[in-house]
Amino acid sequence: MKKLVLSIALLGLSSVAMADLSQSCNAYFDKVDSIVKAIPENTATKQQTNMIKQNLENAKQQISSMPETEQESACKQGINLLKQIDAILIKK
């Protein structure tokens, strides 16, 4: 459940198509993709997971339409958020 909440929080920051992304955005979305894939697939989470995946794709498209400097800034913020969330989860 924590991973599901984390994924939803991360998607609020994001947007992108991988070929058109900056290096930071590729790294950020690779990490978010791995988090989404780690969510257990069962009846309780399936609908939410599908929604997260769709939101992730929409986010990728939005970010890919941004200039590279804006992509870098947005994705670096996302990476920093991931680090903060990891630190919080590790403490628990």
Helices in 1-92 by DSSP H: which ranges? 2-11, 23-38, 43-64, 68-91
Number of structural domains in the chain: 1
pTM to 2 decimal places: 0.66
What region, left, alpha or beta, does residue 22 occupy, with left being phi > 0 and alpha being psi -120 to 50 degrees?
beta
- 32 token code pair: 């978010």
- Residue 15: per-residue pLDDT: 39
What residues make up the domain containing 16? 2-91
State how far the Cα of 59 lies from the Cα of 63, in Å rounded to an integer: 6
What are the distances in angstroms from CA 77 to CA 45, 74, 81?
27, 5, 6
* Structure tokens that stand for 44 in this block: 């309780």
Q: What is the pLDDT along the chain (92 residues), one digit of tens a residue?
A: 455 555 555 554 443 345 578 888 888 888 888 888 887 888 878 888 888 888 888 888 888 888 888 989 989 998 998 888 888 877 76
